[in-house]
Amino acid sequence: MAEWVEACAVDDVDKEDVIRFDHGGRSFAIYRSPDDDFFATDGFCTHEMAHLADGLVMDDIIECPKHNGRFNYKTGEAKGAPVCVNLKTYPVRVEAGKVMIDIG
Amino acid sequence: MTAASSTKRDYSLVGESTRRAIETGLASAEWYHTDVPRKTMKELMQRSDGPAIRDTIIWIVAILGSAAGIVWFWGTWWVVPFLFVYGVLYGSSSDSRWHECGHGTAFRTRWMNDVVYHIASFMLMRNPVQWRWSHARHHTDTIIVGRDAEIAVMRPPDLIKAALAFTGILDFRYSLPTLVRQAFGTLSDDEKSYIPEMEQHKAVTAARWHMVIDAATIAVAIALRSWIPLVLVGLPRLYGTWHMVTTGLLQHIGLADNVTDHRLNTRTVYMNPISRFIYWNMNYHVEHHMFPMVPYHALPKLHELIKHDLPVANPSIWHAYREVWPVLLRQLKYEDFYLKRELPPTAKPYRGEFHDLDITAAAAE
C-alpha cells in the first residue's frame, strides 16, 4: 500500500549528489541525478551499516563511503564486490518543489 | 611509561579474540572521523582518470624499460641496477596499485581499476578475490584482534619474522602455498570468515588462473633453459619487496590495537617523492583510513585540511622506525605496550569508551 511522504525540498539536494532522510525509524537516501531526476533507496549499504548519504554519486552510481561498494541508485543493482545484495529502491515524485517518496 | 598485565591475543579470525571483539562491540563499530564539510569532502572524493593514467603509463614504461635492461645485460654486473629498479616496480609498487585499484579510487573508469587490480594481484601473488574481501575487513575492523585479516606484525612481535619480511621470503612462502591450496578448491576457516559464500568459488577460479600463468612461466624458462622468465615473473616478489615492506610496515606497527580511532592505530609519515610515487601516497595513511573514498592524488590536500585534528606526522621513514624500534623491544616483554601518539591542542580528544578500558595503562606518550 502506497505511503507517500515528503522527504525534502528539491533545492536541498545538489545535482549529482545525495542526502539522508530519516522517517519512522527508517533511513533513506535521496538522490538527484546529473539529468535532474530524483531517486530514493534504502539509506544503508547492504554490505555493512554505512550510510550511503556520505558516499559519492557518479552518473547513476552511488559509492559507499566505507568500502567503496557501488550500486546503481536508479535500479538498486549491486555492481560487484564488496557489495553482493541489491539495494531497495522507492518510487519518487516531485510536487510543488517537494520530493515525495513512497515508503509503503 | 607503564605496562598492563599481559593479555594473550588470538589472531585467528574464528577464535577467542573474535568472540570478544563481537561481544564488546569492537567489531563493525562506529569509528571516529574528523569533521569535514560535505561540500569539501565531495570535491576531495571526485574521481578522475587523468592522474592514474599518467602514473600507470610511467609505471609500465619503467617496468618494460628495466625488464629490457635485465634481458640485455643478463650475465654482466650491469644487470644489477636494472634488477633493482624492476624488482621495486614489480614487487613493491604493485602493492599500492593493487590497493588503490581495489578501492576503485585510482581511476574514475571502473574497468581500468579492475584491469590494473588483477595485474597487480598477480604480481603480488595475491588472490584478487580473497584479498578484496580481506581488505574490506581491514577497513571495517582496522587492527581489531580476531577480526582484521591484515595485521602485519602481531604481538608479541616476532622480530626475526619482521626482518625476514624485507626479503620477501616469508610472504613468498605464504602466498604461493596459499594459492596452490586455493587452486585445489580449499579455503581456510579464516578465509571463509570474510569471503561471502557466494564469492568463494570466484576465489578458487582466480587462484587457478594464477597457477596457470605461473606454470606457463616455468615451462618457458625450462624450454629456453634460462632463468630470465622467472627473474621477470614471480621472483621479483622476493628481491623487490623491500620497499613495500619498508613503507607498509609503518602503517600500524607499534600503535594501539582494539581501538576505534584511526589516529590511535594508524600512522602518517612524510616521505620522499620517489617513495610516494611507488607507494601512491599511502604514507597519508590516517587520512586514507578515515576517508577511503578519497583518491591517492587528493590525499596531500586532505592531509592539509585535517592535520589539525591528527597526531603530528613522522617527518621521515627513518624517524618513524626510530620511534617504533623501542616500542617493539618493549612489546617483547609486555605485549600490551604500545605507542600512544599525542594529539595537537587543536584536535578533538580521543574517545574513551573502548580505549581507556583496555589499553591506557600500557601506553607510552
Q: What is the pLDDT of residue B365?
A: 55
* Closest CA of chain A from B245, distance in Å: 24
Contact criterion met (CB < 8 Å) for A47 and B136: yes
Average pLDDT, integer, range B267-292? 97
Q: Which residues pair with A101 in a beta bridge?
A: A5, A92
Task: Provide CB contacts within 8 A for B217, sequence distance 6+.
Answer: B229, B230, B233, B234
B298 vs B200: CA distance, rounded Å = 34
Does the pLDDT value for residue B362 go beyond 80? no
Confidence of residue B353 (pLDDT cuts 50, 70, 90): low
In chain B, what are the helix, strand and coil shares in percent, each to the nearest 5?
60, 0, 35
A67 with A51: CB under 8 angstroms?
no
Mean pLDDT score of chain A: 94
Computed on alpha carbons and rounded to an integer, the radius of gyration of chain B in Å comes to: 21
Domains and CATH numbers, chain A: 15-89 (2.102.10.10)
Does the pLDDT value for residue B189 go beyond 90? yes
Residue type, B314: N
What are B83-99's pLDDT values in tens digits? Answer: 999 999 999 999 999 99
Does the pLDDT value for residue B355 go beyond 70? no
Residue the block writes with cell 547513476:
A60
> Which residue in A48, A79, A82 is closest to B132 by CB distance?
A82
Does the pLDDT value for residue B51 go beyond 70? yes
Average pLDDT, integer, range B203-215? 97
A90 vs A92: CA distance, rounded Å = 6
B95 with B175: CB under 8 angstroms?
no
CB B25: neighbour CB atoms within 10 A? 12
Does the pLDDT value for residue B47 go beyond 50? yes
Task: Indicate which of A56, A61, A83 best probes the interface with B, i.e. most B CBs within 10 Å of its own CB.
Answer: A56
Q: What is the pLDDT of residue B6?
A: 53
Q: Which long-range contacts (CB under 8 A, 24 or more apart) does B99-104 make?
A: B99/B135, B99/B280, B99/B282, B100/B52, B100/B280, B100/B282, B100/B295, B100/B296, B102/B131, B102/B132, B102/B135, B103/A68, B103/B292, B104/A63, B104/A68, B104/A70
Which one is predicted more confidently, B323 or B6? Answer: B323
Tell me which residue of B204, B207, B211 sits closest to B233, measured CA to CA.
B211
Contact criterion met (CB < 8 Å) for B47 and A55: no
A90 with A40: CB under 8 angstroms?
yes
Does the pLDDT value for residue B363 go beyond 70? no
Confidence of residue B323 (pLDDT cuts 50, 70, 90): very high
Tell me which residue of B119, B86, B107 sits closest to B243, measured CA to CA.
B86
Kindly give the parts of chain A with pLDDT less than 50.
none
**Among all residues of chain A, which has the CA nearest to that of B38?**
A54
Contact criterion met (CB < 8 Å) for B292 and A84: no
Q: What is the pLDDT of residue B360?
A: 45
Strands across the sheet with A61-63, in order? A56-58, A61-63, A70-72
Residue type, B113: N
**3-class DSSP state of B75:** coil
CA dihedral A42, B18, B203, B212 (to 10 degrees): 150
Which residues in chain B are contacts of A68 at CB distance < 8 A? 103-105, 292-293
B133 vs B143: CA distance, rounded Å = 15
Q: Is the ipTM of this complex over 0.90?
A: no
Lowest-confidence segment of A5-14, B23-32, B345-354 by average pLDDT:
B345-354
Residue B199 near chain A (CB below 8 Å): yes
Tell me which residue of A89, A17, A28 sits closest to A56, measured CA to CA.
A17
- To the question of pTM greater than 0.95 for the whole model, the response is no
* Closest CA of chain B from A84, distance in Å: 8
B340 vs B80: CA distance, rounded Å = 42
Name the grid cell of B105: 579510487
* Closest CA of chain A from B310, distance in Å: 20
**Among all residues of chain A, which has the CA nearest to that of B27?**
A48
Mean pLDDT score of chain B: 93
Does the pLDDT value for residue B162 go beyond 50? yes
Which residues in chain B are contacts of A56 at CB distance < 8 A? 42, 45-47, 293
Q: What is the pLDDT of residue B172?
A: 85
Q: What is the pLDDT of residue B3?
A: 44
User: How many Cα neighbours within 13 Å face the side chain of B340?
Assistant: 19
Percent of chain B clearing pLDDT 90 (strictly above)? 89
Does the pLDDT value for residue B359 go beyond 90? no
How many A/B residue pairs have CB atoms within 8 Å? 44
